[in-house]
């Protein structure tokens, strides 16, 4: 680009413009204004920050170059993040060129930690806490099944809070929700720690059984405060079960690692902590049906048992027993009658007795002239033996 002589420049006999220092600097300033973007993003590392008269002066550097930067006092008070030595930052800035001394500087309009700096901080704190066992899954507390009350630590108002309250109402409206406003971006570590301490101190008074620490979406750099070592130690020491729902599903902070449960989003944190009344209703209905079927089967078994007992009682009734006994006696009487000697006599047989009443079973017991008694079916016959004749085969 050819540098045209500005107003006030004088041409020489060589055809070259001649400047005063002031006109040269003004020409450079005019060139920068015409040829450079009014605002830009700059990724750099902070070096030698110094606070002078309320303004923060610093040097922005990378591996190959450096440039001065300044945050004016009026702007510094509005920023949520104030960079320190060695911080990686992403700057929204514009060029300032002071023509009086040809000084170039980046005027910083906004600044936040760069992703690389945030990740370095994450790894540094993780390396400190992990050997102490604060990230050990075995130390994590279990979540209450149906908490009577929970505390939501999040920014107010916010879409994340609205989603959490709506989800809580839909899932389990019986749980009381205590909303505790906190700042969630920038150098707000101490404010979050203070509110957390207040909740823990008054948890018993309000019946709080669990805490949710939540922040809606944003870049990973916006979550830098949740990589704080001091905050992580407070979260790890919290006596109440603590659920985090910070940023997006892919974002993981130190707070997530020390929490008792890490949810992907603020809404997922409420889902993890509160039961779903619709699912529970379905489960109760299924249990009710199963219980009803069990009772029906048991009643059927009991009815069969009672029927059997009733049949036994009928069989054991005195009238039934007496009838049975009478039948049995009749059968025995008939049997005795069938086996009675009287039946044989009625068929024509006779019983022979000697005079002394001894039953005659053989001809050898008598001889001619003996008096005998014959017992027949309807009486007795007296007779005398005339002679005896023994069978040969006897």
Instruction: Name which residue leads in pLDDT, 140 or 64.
Output: 140
Identify the H or E element spanning 21.
Answer: helix 21-35
CB of 149 closer than 8 Å to CB of 208: yes
Q: SS3 for 18?
A: strand
| Model confidence pLDDT, tens digit, residues 268-297 | 999 999 999 999 889 899 999 999 999 999
pLDDT at residue 1 greater than cutoff 80: no
Q: Domain extents for the chain?
A: 36-113, 118-275, 350-384
> What are the residues facing 40 on neighbouring strands?
93
Q: Please give the pLDDT value at position 77.
A: 87
- Tell me the average pLDDT across 346-372: 84
Q: SS3 for 56?
A: strand
Distance CA 28, CA 242 (A): 58
| Model confidence pLDDT, tens digit, residues 230-254 | 999 999 999 999 999 998 888 899 9
Neighbours of 272 (CB within 10 A): 16
Q: Please give the pLDDT value at position 200.
A: 96
Contact partners, residue 261, CB within 8 Å, separation at least 6: 140, 143, 241, 242, 243, 244, 269, 272, 273
pLDDT at residue 162 greater than cutoff 90: yes
Q: For the chain, what is the mean pLDDT?
A: 88
Instruction: Name which residue leads in pLDDT, 391 or 82.
Output: 82
Distance CA 204, CA 178 (A): 13
Q: Please give the pLDDT value at position 3.
A: 46
Torsion of CA 122, 126, 128, 130, to 10 degrees: 180
Q: Please give the pLDDT value at position 4.
A: 52
pLDDT at residue 51 greater than cutoff 60: yes
- Tell me the average pLDDT across 48-58: 93
For domain 36-113, which architecture applies?
Beta Barrel (2.40)
Torsion of CA 216, 219, 221, 226, to 10 degrees: 20
CB of 140 closer than 8 Å to CB of 113: no
Domains 36-113 and 118-275 belong to one CATH topology: no
Q: Please give the pLDDT value at position 195.
A: 96
Q: CATH 3.40.50.2300: does it fit domain 118-275?
A: yes
Query: What six digits make up the tokens of 224?
Result: 């830098």
Distance CA 262, CA 22 (A): 62
pTM over 0.75: no
| Model confidence pLDDT, tens digit, residues 296-349 | 999 999 999 999 988 888 888 888 888 888 888 888 888 887 777 777 777 778
Q: Please give the pLDDT value at position 48.
A: 92
């Amino acid at each position: 680009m050819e540098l045209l002589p500005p107003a006030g420049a004088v041409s020489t006999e060589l055809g070259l413009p001649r400047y005063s220092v002031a006109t040269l600097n003004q020409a450079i300033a005019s060139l920068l204004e015409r040829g450079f973007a009014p605002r830009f993003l700059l990724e750099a590392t902070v070096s030698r920050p110094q606070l002078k008269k309320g303004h923060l002066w610093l040097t922005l550097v990378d591996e190959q170059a450096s440039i001065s930067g300044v945050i004016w006092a009026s702007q510094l008070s509005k920023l949520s993040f104030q960079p320190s030595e060695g911080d990686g930052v992403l700057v929204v800035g514009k060029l300032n060129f002071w023509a009086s001394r040809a000084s170039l500087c980046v005027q910083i309009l906004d600044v936040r930690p760069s992703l690389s700096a945030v990740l370095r901080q994450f790894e540094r704190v993780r390396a400190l806490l992990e050997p102490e066992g604060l990230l050990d899954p075995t130390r994590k507390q279990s979540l209450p099944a149906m908490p009577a009350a929970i505390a939501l630590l999040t920014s107010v108002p916010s879409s994340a809070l609205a989603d959490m309250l709506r989800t809580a109402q839909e899932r389990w409206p019986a749980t009381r929700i205590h909303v505790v406003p906190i700042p969630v971006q920038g150098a707000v570590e101490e404010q979050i720690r203070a509110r957390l301490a207040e909740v823990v101190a008054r948890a018993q008074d309000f019946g709080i059984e669990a805490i949710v620490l939540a922040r809606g979406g944003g870049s990973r750099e916006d979550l830098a405060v949740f990589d704080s070592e001091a905050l992580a130690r407070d979260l790890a020491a919290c006596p109440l079960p603590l659920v985090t729902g910070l940023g997006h599903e892919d974002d993981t902070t130190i707070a997530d690692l020390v929490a008792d449960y890490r949810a992907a989003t603020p809404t997922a944190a409420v889902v993890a902590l509160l039961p779903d009344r619709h699912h529970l209703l379905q489960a109760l209905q299924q249990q009710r049906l199963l219980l009803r079927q069990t009772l029906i089967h048991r009643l059927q078994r009991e009815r069969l048992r009672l029927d059997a007992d009733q049949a036994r009682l009928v069989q054991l009734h005195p009238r039934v027993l007496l009838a049975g006994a009478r039948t049995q006696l009749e059968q025995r009487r008939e049997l005795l009658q069938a086996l009675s000697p009287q039946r044989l006599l009625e068929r024509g047989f006779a019983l022979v007795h000697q005079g002394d009443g001894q039953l005659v079973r053989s001809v050898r017991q008598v001889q001619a002239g003996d008096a005998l008694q014959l017992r027949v079916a309807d009486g007795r016959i007296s007779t005398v033996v005339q002679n005896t004749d023994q069978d040969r085969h006897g």
